[in-house]
Structure 1
Amino acid sequence: MVAFLSPASAVVGAVCLGGGSPDSRCGRRPPCGGRGGLFGRRVATRAATAAATATAASRQTATTMATGSDTPNADAADPRLQASGGGGGGSADNDAPPPSRFPLWLPAFVTAAAGGLLFGYDIGSVSGVVRVLSSPATAAAGAGSPFGSLTSLGALSAAQLGAVASASLAGALASSAAMFRYGDDLGRRKEMALAGAAYLTGTALQAAAPSVGVLLAGRLVYGLGIGLAMHAGPLYIAETAPARLRGLLVSAKEAAIVAGILGGYLAGAAFQPDWRTIFAVAAAVEVPFAASAALGWVPETPRWLLLRAAALEGGQAGQPDAAGTAERVAALRAAAVSAVAKLEGLAPADAHPRVDAMATAVADTCLDASGRVARASISSLYADPASQAALAVGLGCVVLQQITGQPSVLYYANQLFEAAGFGFAAAVGLGAWKLLVTGVAAAYADKAGRRPLLLVGTAGMTVALVALAAGFWGVDGGGAAAAAAGGGAATLTGARQTVVLGSILLYVGAYQLGFGPVTWLLLSELFPLRVRSAAISTGVLVNFGTNFVVTAAFESGRQTLGSGGLFAVFAALCGASVAFVAAKVPETKGLSLEEIEAQLQGESGADERQALMGDDGRRER
């Protein structure tokens, strides 16, 4: 987890300057002279293509005349960077650091994925902690550990145990809701730094809690970190990963969550009954995660920097400090060029065309009629065709992944494996199986594509749910029979048990192949730049909310319909999911974020925009 701390990748990131309302793509190269040309409204793509070509030729000519060399010198030919201190007195490139031999998109991914791993660790570890705190014989544990001198909390009541298990969810919901309004103001890297701080604070409170109240406060603060990390992570990865690897990396973040769950199970087994140490182990990942984001060891996303520049310029037009604003806009644009160069291991001169393409997308899609970047709102999510199409697909997948029974099947998995005598080995084995299949999904997301993975995954879930319904049919019968069974799983023997256990493994594998990783991948790439942060926040809220509803309604549904009837309902919903994916979900593999937006809008200029992004535009960010 700390590989990205090596000197080769410890690069100071761009400093976020100025105010305004950002998102994620941005920055078109301005004409020489005049403020109004930097982020023009709806620039024609043919004209932009010609301008980009002419700018490159002009830079090459100017460099040759000034130096007698054909080597590009971006700063010498770029009056914007001269105005902000980059030019004059010789070649700026001679003073600039050489391009990184190790592109920073990988350390950037590791940093964002660490936030997901810590979320998964909480899921896996809290089950072991609750088991310890539920027993008077183990709740007093702690002697001989670093926390042995702390007061024992004793065995907790059922209500207290429920609060310990669910308090982090409440914190995650709160921070996710806050990011709808403030996510674009913070930026992706700062949000991850805040997540790291919340993780560390929550872990300290949990591990050293002298009372149940402090323990619950720690759980709540840790949950704030979960919400921040789950919001910022997909955004950061999508906006820093090469298009050809975006599916792999965003899906691999889901693998990091699963790895965290497995790590939590293992820590619970290794340190039981010392529940304080189980919590404290998370600091081994939290420290490098927080430091990498807070200290700038990885850069801010270039799209966010450029959109912030656009917001700054639009919001300050005509104000007395216009000159100061122009300097800050130039600095943000230079930071975006630097970020692209570091992320891809390029020379600054080679990063300019990438930034130009991102800038044109911001000018085309993010500015209103007055030249300002409009702040995202609930209404703006429904205001244009691209947002509407993305909402239907993205949030549809979020809802379907929950109402097709994922929380309920996992509940039965734990119950059934324990009843079969596997106990802890079952939890570890199931976690390893999930990690293996998620790794396969991540590896093939950019090869097979999003749609095939979703179609195969949802079809496999449907088959598994039909088999589960058959295996449970008539066992508890619903109504009084199911109520009499209480909260435990129905008793299964012989062939039924074999069918059900095999079906659970098929269901979990199919879920991790499709809905598990691909839903978050689609959320990170489908929404237009101007509403992407707010849309991810909405997706996180809907995910946690529907998970809560399904979990809360599970037991009453089981008692009413019986386990077999409940799984039959889930199977029908999963069959509908197959039809939804086939009819609604677009294929986005290999496309840049800008091309995906053009596809959702149904614009005919996608080919022209691709030409602006370079000869191999589908491999640009």
Structure 2
Amino acid sequence: MASRSHKLAVIGAAHADHVEESFALDPAIQRAQAEDDADRELGIPAILAKYWRPCLICSVSFTAGLVFGYDVTVNGASISMPAFLLYFGDMNASGPYLPSLWTSLWTAMSSLMQAIGAIIAGWISARLGRKWPACAGACLTLVGTAIQYIATARGTLLAGKMVSGLGIGCLYSIATTYAGEVAPLRLRAPIQTWLVAFVIMTQAVCLGVIRAYVPDIDESAFRFVFALQWAVGGIAVIAWAFAPESPVYLITRGKTEAARSVMRRIYGNSNETDDRLACLINDIEMEQASQEDNGSYAACFSGPHLKRTLTIALLFSLTNASGAAFLSQNIYFLITAGLEAIHAFDIGIGGFGLALLIIAASGMYLKHFTRRNVILTGLVINFVFMVIIGALYWVPGEGALWAIAVLMNVLISLTTSTLQAAAWPVAAEIPSYHLRAKSMSLGIFTQTLTSWLFIFITPYMYNVDTGNLGARTGFIYAGTTLLLGAGAFWLVPDTTGLTTPEVDAAYAAQIPPRKFQTFVANTFRIEEGKV
């Protein structure tokens, strides 16, 4: 009988001559790997019942979704509030409006600071751990909220959004790393999907709050919307203060006994927990022995890690580069195009509700379709919708506006459940152990940098005082979607059920990503009399 991990050791030795018999597996490691293999056959309800404790601890990462989701929506939708327009806007013959420059700065600079925060977090979390840097990032969002709340000038409001963005970048990049390190193998992808669901849920709640204050033209209306960021940020601070440290971080720092204590807190005090710790230590030591780099950011762009880094960057930038900025600003865009504000907000809330329903149903359709295929399908859908939205520019009447509004919000639902809910879990499963923190930081950096770029330039495409493309902006994002589809076809693997050592082996063997599942099935299949 040949074990999956024995074959991993053989492949590892082929790529690193110094892997020796020290990696011979002891019974504890074999038991842990057998447990992982058994878990692959369990459904989500059964796996949740078995691992309720680590799932509960992983839920601390969802607080990053709360903070991120609220910030994204308040940046994009608050500018559509009449009270905000009257206070911070200018006037022309048709009424109040926001200059394109400030529309872009308010919505985009938060994303730029998130990108910077993500890079800082990757460096800090590798040295100080995941727990307290995440807590510090959450605290920083509270400071940014205070600045926004008291702002009376455009520049002050911008400064507050930038401070909040820096904290969110730190918090979100660490949260995705933490979830991938703490969750059991079978729950890693679902937890990343649920993190996206928390982002969407918070966006829907935020949009509902803003909609309730649309009729109020007093400045207290938008200030109350800003103030609620203290609530979501405060939840994140408290949650991370009580969360355990990542066992992967502790092991990489040589703190084995501390890691044992944390593992028992996560999985309970049992022999199975010790087996799981032994397996994790073995996997990390195997990986470190086969690596010639020191786990720096530069290592992410060398050797086999380059393709992994590019793939992670692509997966995290899919939604932004395919038109998320256009869709997220749909309320302001539709209002300027002539749709009543209340109707625009109502359709937007319905769109987020639909997104939550589709994500909830993903547990069923992902049983029959790989995440890679879901991502490619999402890109095809996005292309078709963007072409239709662009073509509706030439259709006269209010009916065309309603059609654009419905299409944009349905597309938000579909891209969220495909390009985010399917793509981000794949990105979290691609990095190696010793580069996970920095790889995920680079992923969040790419996500926020592309968000900044497209949020900044999109108003210049559709706004009446600049590009004046209107709905024709959809054609531009149809074009970018074609490019993304080509990249996804060649770079994105299906990582469903694959362990980190298996992904390591597939990249080391230079297997085309679209063939990872076949490679792992053929290489690590456990058969009698075969090694």
Q: TM-score when scaled to structure 1?
A: 0.66
* Distance in 2 separating the partners of 1:157 and 1:494: 23
Q: Which residue is equivalent to 1:366?
A: 288
Q: Is the 8 A contact 2:118 2:441 kept in 1?
A: yes
Q: How does 1:506-545 map to 2 (within 5 A)?
A: 506-545=410-449
Deviation at 1:600, TM superposition (A): 2.3
CA contact (8 A) 1:41 1:369 kept: no
Instruction: Could you tell me which runs of 5 or more consecutive residues in structure 2 were left unpaired when the two chains were aligned.
Output: 1-15, 32-48, 91-95, 512-518, 527-531
Q: Given the superposition, is the C-alpha separation of residues 506 and 104 from structure 1 closer, same or farther in structure 2, using an over 3 Å criterion?
A: same
Q: Per-residue displacement from partner, 1:508-538 (whole Å, max 9, x unpaired)?
A: 2321121122332222211122222222222
Give the conservation status (yes or no) of the 8 Å contact 1:402–1:546: yes
1:266 to 180, 192, 208: 208
Cα pair 2:354 2:413 within 8 Å, conserved: yes
Given the alignment, which residue of 169, 188, 191 partners 1:227? 169
Q: Which residue of 1 aligns with 2:71?
A: 122
Query: 2:314 maps to what in 1?
Result: 396
In structure 2, the CA distance between the partners of 1:493 and 1:608, relative to structure 1 (3 Å rule), is closer
Q: CA deviation at 1:364?
A: 1.9
Following TM superposition, by how much is the alpha carbon of 1:121 offset from its aligned partner in structure 2, in angstroms?
0.9
* Residue 36 of structure 2: aligned partner: none
Percentage of pairs with the same residue? 18
Larger radius of gyration: 1
Partner of residue 245, structure 2:
300
Distance in 1 between residues matched to 2:460 and 2:77, nearest whole Å:
26
Q: Distance in 2 between matches of 1:390 and 1:369?
A: 15
Match of 1:528, SS state, is: coil
Q: CA separation of 1:361/1:509 partners in 2, compared to 1, >3 Å: closer, same or farther?
A: same
Residue identity in the other structure for 2:313: L
Aligned pair count reads 468
In the superposition, relative to structure 1, how do residues 236 and 138 fare at CA in structure 2: closer, same or farther (>3 Å)? same
Matched residue of 2:495: which SS?
coil
Asked if the contact 1:173/1:544 (under 8 Å) is kept, the reply is: yes
Quick check: 1:249 aligned with 2:191?
A: yes
Paired amino acid for 2:354: W
Q: Could you tell me how far apart the structure 1 residues matched to 2:291 and 2:107 are?
A: 49
Equivalent residue in structure 2 for 1:587, among 494, 505, 510: 494
Alignment partners' CA distance in 2, 1:307 and 1:608: 31
Q: Pairwise CA RMSD of aligned residues? A: 3.8
Alignment-derived partner of residue 470 in structure 1: 391
Uncovered stretches (5+) of structure 1, i.e. residues with no partner = 1-39, 57-99, 140-154, 310-331, 476-490, 613-621
Task: State the alpha-carbon separation in 1 of the partners of residues 386 and 89 from structure 2.
Answer: 38
Distance (whole Å) between structure 2 residues aligned to residue 572 and residue 212 of structure 1: 34
Selected match of 1:381 from 285, 300, 315:
300
Answer whether contact 2:122 2:173 (CA < 8 A) is retained: no
CA distance in structure 1 between the aligned counterparts of 2:440 and 2:433, rounded to whole angstroms: 11
Distance in 2, Cα, partners of 1:171 & 1:182? 16
CA distance in 1: counterparts of 2:62 and 2:490, whole angstroms: 31
Cα distance in 2 between the residues matched to 1:206 and 1:416: 26
Aligned equivalent of 2:228: 281
| Residue-by-residue CA offset, 1:470-508 (whole Å, 9 max, x unaligned) | 323xx3xxxxxxxxxxxxxxx742664565345324422
Q: For residue 356 of structure 1, what is the aligned residue in structure 2?
A: 278
Q: 1:176 aligns with which of 104, 114, 118?
A: 118
Query: Is the 8 Å Cα contact of residues 114 and 167 (structure 2) preserved in structure 1?
Result: yes
Distance 1:366 1:444, change over 3 A: farther
Letter matched to residue 73 of structure 2 = G
Residue-by-residue CA offset, 1:349-369 (whole Å, 9 max, x unaligned): 321221222212222222478
- The answer to whether the 8 Å contact 1:42/1:365 transfers is no
Q: CA deviation at 1:306?
A: 0.5
CA distance in 1 between counterparts of 2:281 and 2:525 reads 14
Q: Take 1:54 and 1:169, find their aligned partners in 2: how far apart are those partners? A: 43
1:449 equivalenced with 2:370 (yes/no):
yes
- Per the alignment, do residues 350 and 42 of structure 1 end up closer, same or farther by CA in structure 2, a change over 3 Å counting? farther
- The one-letter amino acid paired with 2:248 is R
Greater helix percent: which structure?
Answer: 2
Secondary structure at 2:245's aligned position in 1?
coil
Deviation of residue 588 (structure 1)?
0.9
Q: Which amino acid aligns with 1:339?
A: V
In 2, the alpha carbon distance for the partners of 1:423 and 1:561 equals 20
Distance of 2:187 and 2:339 partners within structure 1? 41
2:13 corresponds in structure 1 to: none
Quote the Cα distance in structure 2 between the aligned partners of 1:419 and 1:171.
33
Distance 1:494 1:209, change over 3 A: closer
Change (3 A) 1:135 1:404: same
SS of equivalent to 1:600: helix
**Mapping 1:549-588, distance limit 5 Å:** 549-554=453-458, 562=469, 566-588=473-495
Q: 1:533 to 1:444 in 2, by over 3 A?
A: farther
SS in 2 for 1:277: helix
Q: Does 1:405 align with 2:323?
A: yes
Report Cα offsets for 1:190-245 as digits up to 9, x if no partner.
22211221122223333345766654443232112210122111111111112212
CA distance in 2, matches of 1:177, 1:54: 34
